[in-house]
A and B are shown apart, each in its own frame.
Chain A
Amino acid sequence: MSFLTLIFKNPFRNKARAFLAVIGIGIGIATIVALGGITTGLTQSLDNTLHEGGADFTVLSKKEDSQGTPYGTETLDEDWLNKLKEIPGIKRVEGIYIATVPVEDKFGMVIGIDPNNTFDISSMDVSLTSGQFIKNEHEVVIGKLKAKDLNKKVGDNLTIDDSEFKIVGIYESGDPSQDGVMAHMKDLQKISDEEGKISMIYVFADSGADVDTITKSIDNKYGDDLNTITSINDIKMVADALNMVNGASWGISLLAIVIGGIGIINTMIMSVYERTREIGVLKAVGWKKKRILSMILGESLVLTVTSAIVGSIFGVIAIELAVALGILSGMTPVFTMGTFIQGFAVAIIVGLIGGLYPAWRASRLPATESLRYE
């Protein structure tokens, strides 16, 4: 038997207590992992929206004043497409028009695209599950979730603001904002009475061109009218919201450290208390204080690292279950190594903080008194 085997065996002597300790800390870790998965998923999803089809950056109306959504609530004239094309380093530009309009009996977001000048669908984070993409006016494609929600299939009609459109395809996407409806841009502009207007422009730079230089020249030339967005951090509202979720995640981590730490101190003190005579025996057979301290501290770490493993698994399962049940509106959670490292770091900190005092106490127990302990 190695010393490590002994450390692994001891925490699970009292199975009920170990189980409760693991569950207590595990819930904190699961929350950290779940929130991390949602935040990263949300960030990547928004980032994908800004760089749809491989766009290098997005241009919005200056009226958004960096406060709006990444979808552009203020519109721009279509003329801007031609003006931007003339900027050196820009390979091509593509505009889309987004509107919230009545779809069947509910308001929903519809993305208007120009099928003659649109993205290569294969490069988008969108794939057709049936049918084809829009080719003409009065045609729409709808997201898989939307189709399920409205009980529609390819060939059915879809009512948008009292007009009938033919569903030519069904697509799926990891981005909840896109799992809606895509229509011909001209149709959507007409419905919204905004002909010739677009919501945002995707800019594709020449290969090898410096994106920073291009955005700077747009800012210099058209800075009064246009706003260039290279990352979601350029959109204050979105960045604030993500910062808030991140802050909440760290807040939960801190709470997990405090609550988990107290739980572990309690568990380990109880364990040391119950094993007083045993610790006396270990001293009697010549164990050094340092070894007794390492053993108790190690046992505390075994409990918290087990909690991190259990919590991580449950965190992932819970979020995947929420996705499967449609609770997260088609959002794709992304679990990065960083999220799991954060969870395990919290577990290790809790193990060290929570185990230190009981370990110190155990190492200082007087041998004779410990051996007399009833």
Chain B
Amino acid sequence: MVAIVKIKNLKKSYEKGNIKALNGINLEIEKGDFVSIIGQSGSGKSTLLNMIGALDTGDEGTVEVAGYDLTDGKNLDVFRSKEVGFIFQLHNLIPNLSVCENVEIPMFETKASGKERTDRALSLLNLVGLKEKAKIKPTKLSGGERQRVAIARALANKPSIILADEPTGSLDSKTSGDVLKLLIDLHEKENVTLIMVTHDLNVAKLANKQIEVLDGQILGTDSQK
């Protein structure tokens, strides 16, 4: 199998080195895999996810994702636009834009025309079961529906990798189950690599592989399936 994420000896510290968020991470994730990163609060799991998504860069070590060398901090916006779809704990939708317009947002950095953007957004909303709500504002949606819109937005530019940071963290268990089912279905249907940060072991167990992080280091990897 081809590794889509290759991380070697990645280190990141904050506050002049006093806080070591990542302390020598070595990791490879295969293309099309579903990986969960678990760990306690402050263990470094979200920092690791941010490094994979090029939202931040390390102090030492190398990060290569989907063929992009993210170590030198160049063209990170191009990488994020083309290869990554983010899903956050809080959906982070823009309140004054319609559901459809929110899904179109990532496509502004592509060459798609206005009509192509709208068509793609509508087809993604259809995929997450919200096409009929395309024109309304996200403020009128339930928490689960908002997260489904965020999932559609993450898929907008046909990314090779989806990074989800506690995607069900603010949802009730029933809605959480629905959102996870949708996420896993889309991961399989779209053949996209899914990396999910969670502190919920039950959620983590849904992944093919679990990576446990503690004090900025990988404690161990456990393949489930």
Contact = CB atoms under 8 A, between A and B. Distances in A.
Interface of A: 1-3, 6, 9-10, 13, 277-278, 280-289, 291, 366-368, 371
Nearest to A278: B94
Nearest to B121: A1
Contacts, number: 71
A278 B153 CA distance: 14
Interface string B36-79: 00000000000000100101100000000000000000000111
A1 B118 contact: yes
Given A286-B78, A286-B80, A371-B88, A1 B114 contact: yes
B86 interface: yes
Contact of A283 (B77, B82, B104): B77
Contacts of A10: 96
A119 to B, nearest CB: 63
B157 A286 contact: yes
25 contacts: A1-B97, A1-B100, A1-B104, A1-B114, A1-B117, A2-B114, A6-B97, A6-B101, A10-B96, A13-B96, A277-B92, A278-B94, A280-B92, A281-B92, A284-B86, A285-B85, A286-B77, A286-B80, A286-B82, A287-B108, A288-B77, A289-B77, A291-B109, A367-B56, A368-B50
A280 B105 CA distance: 13
A258 B95 CA distance: 32
A289 B53 CA distance: 17
Contacts of A367: 55-56
Question: Interface residues of B: mostly helix, strand, loop or mixed?
Answer: helix
Interface of A, helix, strand, loop or mixed by DSSP:
helix
A283 B55 contact: yes
Nearest to A14: B96
Contact of B77 (A13, A278, A287, A368): A287
Nearest to B104: A1
A286 B114 CA distance: 18
Contacts of B77: 283, 286-289
A9 B55 contact: no
A371 B92 contact: yes
Contacts of A284: 53, 55, 80, 86
Nearest to A366: B56
B86 A285 contact: yes
Interface string B115-136: 0011000000000000000000
Nearest to A295: B108
B92 A291 contact: no
B81 interface: yes
Contact of A285 (B78, B95, B106): B106
